[in-house]
Amino acid sequence: MIERARRYAVLGTGAVGGYYGALLQRSGFEVHFLARSDCEHIARYGLAVRSPMGDFVLPKVHVYSEAGTMPRCEVVLVTLKATHNHLLASMLPSVVAQGGTVVLMQNGLGGEAEIFPWAAGAQILGGLPFICVNKTAPGQIHHIDYGLVTLGAFGPDYAPQGQSPVLLQVAEDLQQAGIAVETAADLMLARWRKLVWNIPYNGLSVLLNARTDQLMENPATAALAEQLMAEVKAGARACGRDFPDAFIEKMLDHTRAMQPYRTSMKIDAEQGRPLEVETIYGHPLRIARRAGAQMPRVEMLYRQLQFVDARIRTVGKVATRA
Amino acid sequence: MIERARRYAVLGTGAVGGYYGALLQRSGFEVHFLARSDCEHIARYGLAVRSPMGDFVLPKVHVYSEAGTMPRCEVVLVTLKATHNHLLASMLPSVVAQGGTVVLMQNGLGGEAEIFPWAAGAQILGGLPFICVNKTAPGQIHHIDYGLVTLGAFGPDYAPQGQSPVLLQVAEDLQQAGIAVETAADLMLARWRKLVWNIPYNGLSVLLNARTDQLMENPATAALAEQLMAEVKAGARACGRDFPDAFIEKMLDHTRAMQPYRTSMKIDAEQGRPLEVETIYGHPLRIARRAGAQMPRVEMLYRQLQFVDARIRTVGKVATRA
């Protein structure tokens, strides 16, 4: 086993954190996992990954139920659900090593700005995982497909940071662990581009209890998805980020060609988990509004989802609409 | 019993048609009821009305399962669900007497223009029932509250017709039957005003599986309801119909003060019945667009409801969202 220089912390050993963290440890990095509910199980049995790239087991991992007992690490991967980001206020100051790096591995936009005050001077990177992976049981990770991480450096007001040394270093670590990495010189642009897909499909799939194929088969919702994408593009443009209309066409075609897919927000709703409403809708809406853009349809989806989310937080799991 | 001059046909003996038709017959009008599914039952047992205004039974009524077997009537009350309006193409020509009148007793906007070609030269009135009434079983009508009908005359392009003689005559008949009537010189204005309430609450109650009180308690959906109302006002204004902002305030306050209420569209969704999507959303949107107004949020609600409606028409009843 090669000894690597940087220690990694993984905050949140769900599907994404379990998978990427296990790959890092397998390639020789020292990795410390925070697993609040599964800690005892993982301490006893380790982590098991099933993957088309090869199954493997890590019988022994460093695992903690409290961030306060973890050692300081040079790189902290945040793989919590964005709905738990408020917990980072107390976690990050004790986990990040002096001069360290925090990688916020979540969808949406605005999370880096949210956690910035708690990062104790660490550099912040944003990570966008394009991956299909589930946690099937405590410590059991089932990787189904994809796995690319887009990494970009965060700076105040999301000013483009280019290819910073820290960015390249973390990218290299991940690549050495067998993870496909793409670096983005402009994190905000990367996040807006991913929102083009996430904003229409996550929200509509929850509200209409539908898979992506069902949304695209119905001309009314297919047209609505396209309108929502156009609003996201307008929001991005107000922030000085542009991409061609062809990108929207590509996302629509891609979704039409995809296997029937349940979005992550749909799965959260089915499981009675709070929805990532702020990071996917609330923050981007406020960022776009400050930049002068209105996104009326996206805002409407946000309000509808706030209602559903409030109900989930009150009564737990909500029955789905057939 | 007083003998009245005009014969009435009631096309659709559900809650609204059963109630108003029974009142007309009780006051001496000759009334002919079309009741496709309940015909046999009503022929045998008549109609029974339970109401805070007094219960009564009509043991003997003229009832038909096919419009083609009905006699021609001077006034035809259309109390079908708007989703069945296409049936009027074959019904009206054989039921309306020469020089007769058709009263379209439905919510929404655009229905009169839709049935105009089939009305065989009859005058068309629009009726907006403000009533809380249910059909509890075949021939069993339970009137709970309210009952006012707003009547207005229809003319090409919804040009205001003022107080036409036919309008006043039908209004007088209804009043003689004990029905509260308000005449509207401008049918389109009356319909736009009623849409101020129907557009937000019908659609959101279906999508979010919510009663009116739940929609108003959540600040996100309360704000969305107000935005939808403002768009309806903009649509009306583009059509040359205006009402003060205070009217929107009044509707919001009224809804906050109301008893928890399930909208008619919510009940339709629960029962697996097609939704009145075109008359409440599709027609008004197209009328407003022709007049130059965009209503992006109303259009989005329309598209979402088209998806739900298509699912209802495919799979029947859809489970509700808790």
Domain contains B322: no
Q: Which residues pair with A64 in a beta bridge?
A: A34
State how far the Cα of B111 lies from the Cα of B130, in Å rounded to an integer.
Answer: 17
Q: Do A208 and B307 touch (CB under 8 A)?
A: yes
What contacts A3, CB < 8 A, 6 or more positions away? Answer: A28
pLDDT tier at B99, thresholds 50, 70, 90: very high
pLDDT tier at A318, thresholds 50, 70, 90: low
- Element spanning B176, H or E: helix B165-176
Query: Which residues from A are below 8 Å from B212, CB to CB?
Result: none
Domain contains B230: yes
Stretch A117-142: mean pLDDT? 95
Task: Quote the mean pLDDT of chain A.
Answer: 95
Instruction: Judge if A236 and A139 occupy the same domain.
Output: no
Q: Which two tokens stand for residue A148?
A: 């690319």
| Of the partner residues B220, B227, B307, the one whose CB lies closest to the CB of residue A306 | B220
Kindly report, residue by residue over B153-165, the tens digit of the pLDDT: 999 999 999 999 9
- The alpha-carbon gap from A318 to the nearest alpha carbon of chain B, in Å, equals 5
As a whole-number percent, the residues of chain B with pLDDT over 90 amount to 93
Instruction: Judge if B36 and B141 occupy the same domain.
Output: yes
pLDDT for residue A3: 52
Instruction: Judge if A156 and A238 occupy the same domain.
Output: no
Question: Are A187 and A112 within 8 A, CB to CB?
Answer: yes
Kindly report, residue by residue over A294-314, the tens digit of the pLDDT: 999 999 999 999 999 999 999
Residue B76 has pLDDT above 90, yes or no: yes
Q: Which two tokens stand for residue B291?
A: 């007049």
State how far the Cα of B152 lies from the Cα of B133, in Å rounded to an integer.
Answer: 22
Stretch B48-58: mean pLDDT? 97
State how far the Cα of B309 lies from the Cα of B289, in Å rounded to an integer.
Answer: 23
Stretch B46-70: mean pLDDT? 97
Instruction: Judge if B14 and B39 occupy the same domain.
Output: yes
* CA separation, residue A293 to residues A109, A180, A282, B115 (Å): 16, 34, 14, 42
Stretch A242-260: mean pLDDT? 95
Q: Do A303 and B207 touch (CB under 8 A)?
A: no
Query: Which residues from A are below 8 Å from B221, CB to CB?
Result: 303-304, 306-307
Catalytic (active-site) positions of B? 194
Domain contains A2: no
pLDDT for residue B318: 63
State how far the Cα of B203 lies from the Cα of B270, in Å rounded to an integer.
Answer: 13
Instruction: Judge if B195 and B208 occupy the same domain.
Output: yes
pLDDT for residue B258: 86
Q: Which two tokens stand for residue A140?
A: 């059991």
- The alpha-carbon gap from A210 to the nearest alpha carbon of chain B, in Å, equals 10
- Chain A residues with at least one Cβ partner in B under 8 Å: 204, 207-210, 215, 218, 220-221, 223-224, 227, 296-297, 300-304, 306-308, 310-311, 315, 317-322
Instruction: Judge if A253 and A281 occupy the same domain.
Output: yes
State how far the Cα of B318 lies from the Cα of A188, in Å rounded to an integer.
Answer: 40
**DSSP reduced 3-state for B200:** helix
| Of the partner residues A296, A310, A311, the one whose CB lies closest to the CB of residue B297 | A296
Instruction: Judge if B179 and B193 occupy the same domain.
Output: no
Angle between helices B245-257 and B219-238 (to 10 degrees): 140
Residue among A217, A226, A307 with most chain B CBs within 10 A, to mutate? A307
The sign of the dihedral angle between the CA atoms of B192, B198, B201, B203 is negative
Q: Which residues pair with A145 in a beta bridge?
A: A132
Instruction: Judge if B122 and B233 occupy the same domain.
Output: no
Residue among A285, A308, A318 with most chain B CBs within 10 A, to mutate? A308
- The alpha-carbon gap from B81 to the nearest alpha carbon of chain A, in Å, equals 23
Question: At which of B156, B185, B214 does a domain end?
Answer: B185
pLDDT tier at A316, thresholds 50, 70, 90: confident
Question: Are B86 and B114 within 8 A, CB to CB?
Answer: no
Residue B300 has pLDDT above 90, yes or no: yes
Domain contains A159: yes
Q: Do B304 and A218 touch (CB under 8 A)?
A: no
Question: At which of A185, A200, A233 does a domain end?
Answer: A185
State how far the Cα of A295 lies from the Cα of A204, in Å rounded to an integer.
Answer: 16
Q: Do B208 and A319 touch (CB under 8 A)?
A: no
Kindly report, residue by residue over B192-205, the tens digit of the pLDDT: 999 999 999 999 99
Instruction: Judge if A137 and A252 occupy the same domain.
Output: no
Instruction: Judge if A103 and A30 occupy the same domain.
Output: yes
* CA separation, residue B220 to residues A304, B55, B197, B227, B244 (Å): 7, 42, 17, 11, 24
CATH number at residue B130: 3.40.50.720
pLDDT tier at A258, thresholds 50, 70, 90: confident
pLDDT for residue A315: 86
Closest C-alpha to B22, from B36, B37, B53: B53
User: Residues A81, A194, A233, A266: which is the catalytic one?
Assistant: A194
What contacts B141, CB < 8 A, 6 or more positions away? Answer: B15, B18, B19, B22, B47, B48, B49, B50, B133, B134, B135
- Chain B residues with at least one Cβ partner in A under 8 Å: 204, 207-210, 215, 218, 220-221, 223-224, 227, 296-297, 300-304, 306-308, 310-311, 315, 317-322
**DSSP reduced 3-state for B82:** helix
Q: Which two tokens stand for residue B252?
A: 């919001």
Instruction: Judge if B77 and B174 occupy the same domain.
Output: yes
CATH number at residue B206: 1.10.1040.10
- Element spanning B79, H or E: none
Question: At which of B128, B152, B185 does a domain end?
Answer: B185
State how far the Cα of B165 lies from the Cα of B169, in Å rounded to an integer.
Answer: 6
pLDDT for residue A4: 61
| Of the partner residues A218, A224, A311, the one whose CB lies closest to the CB of residue B300 | A224
Q: What domain count does chain A have?
A: 2
pLDDT for residue B181: 98
Domain coverage including residue A207: 189-315
Instruction: Judge if B221 and B119 occupy the same domain.
Output: no
